A and B are shown apart, each in its own frame.
Chain A
Amino acid sequence: MATAKKSTIRWPAWARKTHKWLALIIGVQALFWMLSGLYMTAVHIDIIHGDALVRPAPVLPIDPASLRDPAEILARYAAASTIKLDSQLGQPVFVVGEGKKRVLVDARSGAQMSPLDQAAAQDRARAHFAGPGKIVRTELLSVIPSEIKGRPAPIWRVEFAGRWRPTLYISPQTGELVAKRHDLWRMFDFVWMFHIMDYEARVDVNNLLLRVAAWMAVATSLTGAWLLLYSFRRKRRVRKPAQG
């Protein structure tokens, strides 16, 4: 290798050297960042959220005269602090909130409906699902899967036939649609893991690995910019010991 005179530093060689060593360490992750970023920007977030998987909620006027008195519901559920009136399968229902607990009540008869059985969960899932597919699998999960982390257990998981394995999660306590998932969402979650480098829980955007790697990426792009200064010449550089 050509050696420089003692008093001069060969800046282009230094730029190349630092750039290539930094790239050796960060190169794979840089590629992951770009590919995951491309996926997340190219597939629209509304598609990821599965907006097209479900039908819009039907506009169903409720006749308030036919409903039970909320005072009666409050008297029955002493810890209740909220009551939500909604329609499910065309029938008015109350979702009663006792702290974090939820109870589903028929708003006309006052009868408690929760926890919902498999058939009731499937009926609700079918009413929401916008695709043509039939239900292929229904199970009551007592452990919350990572794709709906943070939601209360137990939960009905209803999977439909169709592209990207569409799956609706129905709460047995409220009868409500809790989450909708398909493979495009699952892919997004997977590449998000690579993007934020939290290879365990996929949530921590402040982890040390990410911080170190991100600053190394800054250094790699800066040394790359530095290297660009020497990379565009009218004539190709002649390999010679550096001149002063």
Chain B
Amino acid sequence: MFLIRTLHKWFGLILGLQFLLWSISGAMMAMLDAKKVAAEDSERAPPALSQPLSPIRLASLAQSLDAPILRARLRPLGEHYVYEVETPLDLRLFDAATGAPVTIDAPRAQALAQAGYAGSGAVASVEKVEKVSGEVRGVTLPVWRVAFADPDHTTLFVDPRTGAIHHRVNDTTRTWNLFWMIHIMDYPNGAGFNHPLIVTVATGCVWLALSGFILLVRSFRRQDFAYVLDPIDKLRGR
């Protein structure tokens, strides 16, 4: 038992800080409302469009493509219908009525973001993000970043290939991201949560928790529970 106490003490000294960081970051993430973190309150459903009257045939698009069609999708985008065509080379958008190529440039990204935004703020900035940051983790880059001037600093990310709103963040998301980074020890940003450092520290902390658990058995004596046990004994007439 002395050995376990010594081990608990030394593991606590070496790994205790991470244990504390895990509990604080975990507790903070538990406090932040998941709906707020996902910026769900800023979501606006796209307008319902009536069916396109006469979409062109895919065959007429094939001429303007340099590669064979693998998949395609006819769907609404903003106020029009588009074809999203996938070839071995890339993904491209065409106007479904005219067949004209559609590119998601800055004004178009802004318009799409505004259509999907339910808040009160005006657009504060539109920029193309080319580098990974806490806001764009696991996203195919580049991506359009459309920031709104509201109290939460809501920001929408628009995929330049499809025009879809990829994800949205606000100040709560940013706070959550910080604690998540601490929680998964993602110090070289973007490594995810399956790296050797965290597995090693987690293994050590399993022992920290287990040794603490074993110590509990020895740390309590009958007198610790006397205020409960004494009356019970009395009732039993001992």
Contact = CB atoms under 8 A, between A and B. Distances in A.
Interface of A: 20, 23-24, 27-28, 30-31, 33-35, 37-38, 40-45, 59-62, 64-65, 67, 69-71, 74, 78, 80-87, 204-207, 210-211, 214-215, 217-218, 220-222, 224-225, 228, 231-232
A44 B195 CA distance: 9
B216 A24 contact: yes
B54 to A, nearest CB: 5
A130 B213 CA distance: 44
B88 interface: yes
A151 to B, nearest CB: 20
Contact of B59 (A64, A74, A81): A64
Interface string B179-196: 000001000000011110
Interface residues of B, number: 56
A35 B128 CA distance: 41
Contact of A211 (B24, B31, B59, B72): B31
Interface of B: 9, 12-13, 16, 19-20, 22-24, 26-27, 29-34, 49, 51-52, 54-55, 57-59, 61-62, 68-76, 88, 184, 192-195, 198-199, 202-203, 205-206, 208-210, 212-213, 216, 219-220
B72 A85 contact: yes
Contacts of B72: 62, 84-85
A59 B88 contact: yes
Contacts, number: 155
A148 B12 CA distance: 40
Contact of A214 (B12, B20, B26, B208): B26
B216 A20 contact: yes
A84 to B, nearest CB: 5
Contacts of A43: 194
Contact of B203 (A30, A38, A84): A38
Contacts of A64: 57-59, 61-62, 69
A221 B23 contact: yes
Nearest to A37: B202
Given A37-B202, A69-B57, A71-B55, 6 more contacts: A27-B212, A30-B209, A61-B70, A211-B31, A214-B23, A214-B27
Contacts of B13: 228, 232
Q: Which 7 A-B pairs have the closest CB atoms?
A: A61-B68, A214-B27, A64-B58, A217-B23, A64-B59, A85-B72, A221-B20
Contacts of B26: 33, 214, 217
Interface centre among A24, A30, A65 (most CB of B within 10 A): A30
Contact of B73 (A27, A83, A205): A83
Nearest to B194: A44
Contact of B51 (A81, A86, A221, A225): A81
B202 A38 contact: yes
Interface centre among A41, A80, A85 (most CB of B within 10 A): A41
